Structure 1
């Protein structure tokens, strides 16, 4: 049997998994650099409690976004997740107080936390029933690559832009991921939902 990409990756999962790679680089920046960044600005308290704030708002938001995801479809939660993550990174880059650092943790918890759970659900939904395991594997391979390679790649950026500039750049990257999401998945979901609504209205008439 010859080698093929589809032997190792679920092809329908690749577009969103590729986006997940770049989103995970954004999260890797927090895992690796939040402590030295906040210490460099004298905001150690904010850095110490950043991930607690992140966890609280992830825990609060996921049940709500899960219900919206089930009832209203993918875009209603995915689009805000990119925006919130970008806003959190941008706020973090401009932070000059512990309150701002904690607020960025809250925004990122709602943004990245929502993205991870809902994007995985979309990947599973798009994949054939007999390829769910391979779809999950594809998704987590790209996520792990982003988390693993992120610090290495960002380490080349920090000397040029400093920590603040790195987070501001990553905020732009998250917005670019939103644009990519729209063209690779979101617009097709919107078209499908419009067709479903038109069909329902036709049946009601």
Structure 2
């Protein structure tokens, strides 16, 4: 898709290309997560997904910095060609991945096979978390401009760095049975960081809120994904990861649309403070639905809640 962006001249063609790009992106995300869960030993599932998730904030930090630098110095055409080269490098690296052999069984296509019901409670928990995440990723630059804070790049650097460091330890904690504790810690940090972000009066408070909320999001995302994979069998992980990642992307999209609509009527600071409520709703779903469901259906050899 990156190779075609420099050739696009009309809005309609751009939208079609973006749809194709999004479909490819979604397919790759689900496939990557499933392959990772397949190749790591069952007793180290949390650690494996944690290492996999560790690469995401690195890409989130390097990507925008690299892209903006190339865009400002060389123009959009060179930027897209650079992205094409990076994508080809990813393809080459993927060729060296070794996956365990599995028997191929032919099944009739069904929409029901694209989702897994065991993944739904945790996916719904993540849906409301990602509403708040979408608000941060898209609108924090506008918010920083309104508050006349320093360069928003510093915020994203703090946010991504805290996500990175949170994932250094969470995988092993999940494998040792601290799933419940990790989710509670992640929800608490996120619920504290978002109102702090909305009420920030100084650049230091703005950046500190990014660190706190980054730790919260960094703990929640891979922990819930590891738990989803812990709920299903080897041959069901594709559908389970698809269900989880749909809620991930759908929550982000709903958050962007909702905050974009409200931003015309309500100050962004107030909106960020009110993002506490989706996190509170997520905590309720986790406590009364997702956690009991997980304790009933988990595999029993990893991630057990103490």
Shorter-chain TM-score category? Answer: 0.7 to 0.9
The unaligned stretches of length 5 or more in structure 2 are: 1-106, 298-306
Distance in structure 2 (CA, Å) of the matches to 1:7 and 1:67: 31
- Alpha carbons of 1:65 and 1:39: their partners in 2 closer, same or farther (altered >3 Å)? same
The unaligned stretches of length 5 or more in structure 1 are: 193-205
User: Within the alignment, does 1:12 sit opposite 2:118 as a pair?
Assistant: yes
Distance in structure 1 (CA, Å) of the matches to 2:176 and 2:183: 13
Aligned length: 191
Would you say the 8 A contact 1:75–1:186 is kept in 2? yes
Would you say the 8 A contact 2:134–2:256 is kept in 1? yes
Post-superposition Cα deviations, 1:47-97, rounded to whole Å, max 9, x if no partner, equal 331111112111212122222222133111001101111111111000011
User: Within the alignment, does 1:104 sit opposite 2:209 as a pair?
Assistant: yes
- Alpha carbons of 1:183 and 1:4: their partners in 2 closer, same or farther (altered >3 Å)? farther
Choose between structure 1 and 2 for higher RCO, CA contacts under 8 A separated by at least 6 residues.
1
| Higher CA-based Rg | 2
TM-score (norm 1): 0.85
| Counterpart pick for 1:129 among 200, 210, 234 | 234
| Secondary structure, counterpart of 2:263 in structure 1 | helix
Deviation at 1:35, TM superposition (A): 0.6
RMSD value, Cα: 2.2
1:124-203 counterparts in 2 under 5 A? 124-187=229-292
TM-score (norm 2): 0.58
Would you say the 8 A contact 1:9–1:135 is kept in 2? yes
In terms of fraction of residues, the more helix-rich structure is 1
